[in-house]
Chains A and B, each alone.
Chain A
Amino acid sequence: EAGVTQFPSHSVIEKGQTVTLRCDPISGHDNLYWYRRVMGKEIKFLLHFVKESKQDESGMPNNRFLAERTGGTYSTLKVQPAELEDSGVYFCASSQDNRGAGGAFFGQGTRLTVV
């Protein structure tokens, strides 16, 4: 069974450009989460999808970030326009339920560098 996969693994863009990150969750997992780790800091929650609906987007930093999950399968996270402080590792995770008992499965992350 394939795990959570994220594309690209690395991205270097200039300030002001747009970047789109993609996450393919484990098949059958309705719950999809985006997290971000800025260098040396905590891994912070961004948002949570249940199927195609946003269950919780309280962690989204500002309106430059747009997440979508059309059809309830893969998800994209777009940053437009990117700022220097957006640099970090963006993790995607998926789980069958939101009760946390099984723990979420994480992808390898996308390392975003804004220069």
Chain B
Amino acid sequence: AQSVAQPEDQVNVAEGNPLTVKCTYSVSGNPYLFWYVQYPNRGLQFLLKYITGDNLVKGSYGFEAEFNKSQTSFHLKKPSALVSDSALYFCAVRLASGYSTLTFGKGTMLLVSP
């Protein structure tokens, strides 16, 4: 069975500081990993994905994430947070081969203060 853990319900960071939103996963095989963001009153928006290749992937709005196979992690990062980054962030995983649907974590609320 697949699972995703986002250990923090909320992350608080000051504008201009670096941010990290943590994600670890469990899957019986090679993973495809995703980050989605939900802004208030909006739908889920795709941020970035890891499929294969370089462990550091870059996505929308200056976000990036690093795939770490040994630690089964896929933490989301941004060098300098903006107030407008405040939103709910979801990590998701699926198997790289065969039939598999997306399994999501419970989400982490990111609050960036001015």
Residue B90 interfacial (CB < 8 Å):
yes
The DSSP consensus for interface residues of chain B is strand
Assuming the A-B contacts A106-B45, A109-B44, are A45 and B100 also in contact, with contact meaning beta carbons closer than 8 angstroms in the complex?
A: no
> CA A44 – CA B94 in complex, angstroms?
13
Restricting to B75-114, which residues have a CB under 8 Å from any CB of A?
A: 90, 92, 94-96, 99-107
Closest residue of chain A to B4 (Cβ to Cβ) is A42
| Most chain B beta-carbon contacts within 10 A, residue among A41, A44, A100, A106 | A100
Closest residue of chain A to B52 (Cβ to Cβ) is A101
B96 partner residues in chain A, CB cutoff 8 A = 100
Question: Quick check: A103 and B43 within 8 Å, CB to CB?
Answer: no
Contact of A56 among B34, B44, B99 (CB under 8 A): B99
Question: Quick check: B104 and A108 within 8 Å, CB to CB?
Answer: no
Residue A74 interfacial (CB < 8 Å):
no
Q: Give the shortest distance, in Å, between B45 (CB) and chain A (any CB).
A: 7
Number of inter-chain CB pairs below 8 Å: 57
Assuming the A-B contacts A40-B106, A42-B105, are A100 and B100 also in contact, with contact meaning beta carbons closer than 8 angstroms in the complex?
A: yes
Assuming the A-B contacts A100-B32, A103-B49, are A45 and B103 also in contact, with contact meaning beta carbons closer than 8 angstroms in the complex?
A: yes
B4 partner residues in chain A, CB cutoff 8 A = 42
A40-55 vs B: 1/0 string, CB under 8 Å?
1111110010000001
B101 partner residues in chain A, CB cutoff 8 A = 33, 45, 48, 56, 59
Question: Quick check: B44 and A45 within 8 Å, CB to CB?
Answer: no
B45 partner residues in chain A, CB cutoff 8 A = 106
Restricting to A92-115, which residues have a CB under 8 Å from any CB of B?
A: 93, 98, 100-101, 103-109
Question: Quick check: A101 and B106 within 8 Å, CB to CB?
Answer: no
> CA A103 – CA B34 in complex, angstroms?
8
> CA A107 – CA B95 in complex, angstroms?
23
A-B contact pairs, 18 of them (CB 8 A): A6-B43, A33-B101, A35-B102, A37-B107, A40-B106, A42-B4, A42-B107, A43-B44, A45-B102, A48-B101, A56-B99, A93-B44, A100-B96, A103-B34, A104-B102, A106-B36, A106-B44, A108-B42
